[in-house]
Amino acid sequence: MIRSMRCDTYGLQSADGQSLKIAMSQKDHIAVTGRQIAAARTLLGQGQAELAKSASISVPTLKRMEASEGAAAGMANNVRAVISALETAGVEFIPQNGGGAGVRMKVP
């Protein structure tokens, strides 16, 4: 079982020979909580509708995700989409490390 993983970039080649790079987010392997998602959205000053649109999910799905106790509930692809949208907007998720999980803005 994978407990955590560092951010790695993998090079892939598509059928037509084009090279693709896929960055795996560290957050794909660390449980992000619903409260962290809500806090990150608030830190960015975004409403639920704005974040849901940028993650290509519905507002009710985001509401359920944010309201979940513990790890964000929902289909894995939806949770990843929300985390990705927040990270792209400049949020960094802080894992549980003795001081508690949290969020902050990335240093430019």
Distance CA 17, CA 33 (A): 39
**pLDDT given at position 2:** 30
Q: At what angle do helices 34-44 and 76-88 cross, to 10 degrees?
A: 30
Tokens of 59: 């507002």
> So what's the pLDDT on residue 27?
42
So where are the chain's domains? 8-92
The parts of the chain modelled with pLDDT lower than 70 are 1-30
What is the structure's pLDDT at 31? 86
pLDDT for position 30: 61
pLDDT of residue 96: 83
User: Exposed, middle or buried, 72 (CB in 10 Å: 0-12/13-18/19+)?
Assistant: buried
Is domain 8-92 classified as CATH 1.10.260.40? yes
pLDDT of residue 20: 35
The predicted structure's pLDDT at residue 83: 97
